Amino acid sequence: MSNIEVKELKKKRKRGDHLTKQEKAILKQAKQQKKESKESNEQKESKESSDSKKLKKSNKPKVTQRESNDVENVQETNTSSEYFTLPDAKSTSDFLEKNEIKVENIGQDAPLVITKFSQINVDSRIMKSFAKFSEPTPIQAVSWPYLLSGKDVVGVAETGSGKTLAFGFPSIVHLLESEKSKVLIVSPTRELARQIHETLEPIAASCGIKSVCIYGGVPKDAQREHLKTSRIVVATPGRLNDFLEEGSANLKNADYVVLDEADRMLEKGFERDIKQIISACTKSSKQMLMFTATWPAEVREIASNFMRSPVKINIGDRDELKANTRIEQVVEVVDPRDKESRLLEILQKETKNKKEKIIIFALYKKEATRVEEMLTRRGYKIAAIHGDLSQDRRTQALEQFKTSNSHILLATDVAARGLDIPSVGLVINLTFPLTVEDYVHRIGRTGRAGSSGRAFTFFTVNEKHLSGALINVLKAADQPVPVELMKFGTHTKKKEHSAYGAFYKEIDPSAKSKKIKFD
């Protein structure tokens, strides 16, 4: 058995390909030999070295907690341990319990966790990106061991819990490991794509890896050029498909594919685009990842069509729809005609001597424009972001809001998901969104990365079909349920797949119309 042969088998195992009994036996034997040689090296070393030398980490640490001799279980137990060590069983179980972590599809094994950065053993250039954090967040702690081991993963964790680095960090390790590979990350909105790119670009660049952000509403030339050399592609579906159709994007080597905000990406408005994109990633051994804060039953089956027996990670018991519990939620049932006067009262109170940022959500673009004008006339400095604005104006508005030139952002649901602006203290839902999932994402623009936040929501008779689902979300977070809301009824209706995203899909105005052929 040559080293090359063993290496090939390890790769095969990492990809999740089937191993014959003989191949498993070869791996087991190799593992045993490695263990023995390590032990004999360690014995030699301990004889000749001082105590400090013993503390020095091996370049390829082993999983020490759960070695298995069961050949059948080699794939599950002997994960890609060269990148991490595991804590002892007690620390693991305490961590899992404290954070209400559920991990499915790992057989009989206990979940693997990386609770400290010191357990990670990867290129130090990547580790620098964690210098500002004290420890991995729960979704990072649990998803990293599986992602670093080549597994498909569905990760469901509350808004603002660090999902971007949960899928982003292992993607860079993957690119360093495999020179030909590419990473593709798909996001539903341009702003979120830019944000993901801004998070990962510096880390990738420090390792000499180029990345590109592909999104609509801006000229194509620069993106097309960067595509040629980039190994990380962060994209919105429409523009990416344009590039695929014209032959400028090549995803043949994309073997680490992420759908961020995965439930949104699998909705009717996007499903076809996503199918097209994934079928362009032709490598059979690709790793598929889906991350989100909301995972409705309606999309779980669709998701399974794209994945190979994924590990399902659920932080905080999120089989039911749940909002971040650090957000104080106030719901006020009002007459639809009174919403804007109530908004003015709230703003007057909330903007007095307060520095925190506020996001106001409207449902329709026209509504957003009208309310923006109304508030501007009353002297408020407003930044606005919705689908009717040019991309330049959207980018500018978001920048203004982030850098504090204006404390209020008026937005439609293009800003509901993913955007990470740490000083947002209050979210106001002027008009309730189309689904309660969107409500959870909207209010999740506050209370990020362990901080607390507040959300104020107007609820009217027009949304009464959503009262039951909203009541459940309020109750699950121990928030008060107004009597007026209860009067609308507590029943929940099954969501229609086509209901979501109806106002959401981004149309790229710069995309060329398709040719129609007449016979």
Ligand X SMILES: Nc1ncnc2c1ncn2[C@@H]1O[C@H](COP(=O)(O)OP(=O)(O)OP(=O)(O)O)[C@@H](O)[C@H]1O
Stretch of 71-79, 119-127, 136-144, 377-385 contacting ligand X, by CB under 6 A: 136-144
Which of 63, 59, 92 is closest to 78 using CA atoms?
Answer: 63
Q: Provide, rounded to whole angstroms, the least separation between the CB of residue 310 and ligand X.
A: 18
One residue of 293, 315, 371, 471 binding ligand X per CB under 6 A: 293
Q: Provide, rounded to whole angstroms, the least separation between the CB of residue 163 and ligand X.
A: 3
- Report the residue number, 336 or 450, with the smaller CB distance to ligand X: 450
Q: Provide, rounded to whole angstroms, the least separation between the CB of residue 503 and ligand X.
A: 19
Most distant CA pair in the chain, distance: 85
Q: Provide, rounded to whole angstroms, the least separation between the CB of residue 317 and ligand X.
A: 16
- Report the residue number, 274 or 323, with the smaller CB distance to ligand X: 323
SS3 label, residue 225? helix
One residue of 444, 447, 453, 501 binding ligand X per CB under 6 A: 444
- Report the residue number, 178 or 206, with the smaller CB distance to ligand X: 206
- Report the residue number, 294 or 467, with the smaller CB distance to ligand X: 294
Contact residues for 444 (Cβ-Cβ < 8 A; gap 6+): 158, 159, 160, 293, 323, 324, 327
Which of 140, 136, 160 is closest to 148 using CA atoms?
Answer: 140
User: Which residues, 138 to 157, sit near ligand X by CB under 6 A?
Assistant: 140
Count of residues near ligand X by CB under 6 A: 18
- Report the residue number, 153 or 249, with the smaller CB distance to ligand X: 153
Contact residues for 314 (Cβ-Cβ < 8 A; gap 6+): 101, 102, 103, 104, 156, 157, 295
287 in contact with ligand X (CB under 6 A) = no
- Report the residue number, 78 or 294, with the smaller CB distance to ligand X: 294
SS3 label, residue 183? strand
- Report the residue number, 177 or 437, with the smaller CB distance to ligand X: 437
SS3 label, residue 189? coil
Report the distance separating Cα 474 and Cα 443, nearest Å.
Answer: 12
Report the distance separating Cα 497 and Cα 502, nearest Å.
Answer: 10
420 in contact with ligand X (CB under 6 A) = yes
Q: Provide, rounded to whole angstroms, the least separation between the CB of residue 168 and ligand X.
A: 8
DSSP codes, 244-270: HHHT----TTEEEEEEETHHHHTSHHH
Q: Residues 262, 265, 270, CA angle at the centre, nearest 5°?
A: 170
SS3 content of the chain, % helix, strand, coil (to 5): 45, 15, 40
One residue of 81, 137, 211, 314 binding ligand X per CB under 6 A: 137
Q: For 96, what's the count of Cα atoms within 13 Å in the CB-facing half-sphere?
A: 18
- Tokens describing residue 107: 């057989």
- Report the residue number, 117 or 503, with the smaller CB distance to ligand X: 117
448 in contact with ligand X (CB under 6 A) = yes
Stretch of 67-75, 327-335, 442-450, 502-510 contacting ligand X, by CB under 6 A: 442-450
Which of 507, 475, 363 is closest to 430 using CA atoms?
Answer: 363
- Report the residue number, 137 or 467, with the smaller CB distance to ligand X: 137
Q: Provide, rounded to whole angstroms, the least separation between the CB of residue 260 and ligand X.
A: 7
Q: What's the order of all strands across the beta sheet hosting 182-186? A: 101-104, 311-315, 153-156, 287-292, 254-260, 182-186, 232-235, 211-214
User: Which residues, 158 to 217, sit near ligand X by CB under 6 A?
Assistant: 159-165
449 in contact with ligand X (CB under 6 A) = yes
Q: Provide, rounded to whole angstroms, the least separation between the CB of residue 127 and ligand X.
A: 12
Q: Provide, rounded to whole angstroms, the least separation between the CB of residue 180 and ligand X.
A: 28
Contact between 43 and 49 (Cβ < 8 Å): no
Contact footprint for ligand X (CB under 6 A): 133, 136-137, 140, 159-165, 293, 418, 420, 422, 444, 448-449
